[in-house]
Every structure is written in structure tokens, then in C-alpha cells.
Amino acid sequence: MTPDTLADLCARAYRHLTPWNAAQFADTLARPEALLTCTDHAFVLGQVILDEAEILALATDPDQQRSGQASAVLAAFHTQARARGAARVFLEVSTDNTPALRFYEGQGYRQVGRRKGYYRTGAEQFADALIMARDLP
């Protein structure tokens, strides 16, 4: 997927946050630690630094949600991150994004921290970010 394609998918999928734009995707993908796994309808963008991986963005086409696309692309991300030496994966998710929380918990992620007021959800409203992690077998 190109940065433009990733930005388009992100714009359609991110209802709870400000989506990434094409320039942000291009800048991130240009870094040597970047790791992108994707299917035709979903992607995971992250990075691997030493023995840790971090998921920066995950999106699934809204018309393809609940079709296994996110699970497949996340499994591929885990495999590729492990091949690069990662032993653990981290991510942040908003406390008000219940579907994402359920998805990540179903994928073996557990809360390891919390950032108060991390996400802006309105003019003067904020939601906490849960820091979640899972080990890679």
C-alpha cells in the first residue's frame, strides 16, 4: 500500500481519532525501524527497536470489519516483528474505543499502563490511553 492508500483507509476507519495523513505515513515508512503488514483491506504499521515492537496504527476497511482481516494482518505483524528480534509488542488504545479494546484483548494483549487524558475526544474532553502489551512466542 502506498502512503496515499494507507491515509485513505485510515480516514475511513478512524472514527475515534484524527487519522494519519499521507505525509505522516511516508515519513514513518522511510525509517529503518518501520514495519508495515497489510492485506487488501487492512494494515498494521509499527516499528521494531531492539527487542520491542510498537504498533503505531492499525486499520481495517469499515466494509470489511469482522471478516478476519485485522486478525490476519496483526498475526503477520507479530511474525515479522519476531523475525526482526522483537520479544514483546506494545500499543496504545483509547479507553473509549471498546471494539478495539475487545479485539486486542482477544489477541492476547493485556493492560500494562495508562496515560491520563492522552487522547482529545472533543473541544475540552479527553480520554485516557491504555498501554497494552503481549509477548511474542
**Alpha-helix runs per DSSP H in 14-118:** 22-29, 69-83, 98-106
Domain positions in the chain: 3-135
Please name every residue paired with 55 in a beta bridge, in sequence order, or none if there are none: 46
Q: What is the CATH number of domain 3-135?
A: 3.40.630.30
Mean pLDDT, the chain, integer: 92
Q: What is the pTM of this model?
A: 0.90
Catalytic residues: 92, 104
25-78 pLDDT per residue, tens: 999 999 999 999 999 899 999 999 999 999 999 999 988 888 889 999 999 999
Surface-to-core class of residue 121, CB atoms within 10 Å of its CB (0-12 exposed, 13-18 middle, 19+ buried): middle
Of 129, 120, 123, 125, the residue nearest 54 (C-alpha): 129
Q: At what angle do helices 3-13 and 22-29 cross, to 10 degrees?
A: 130
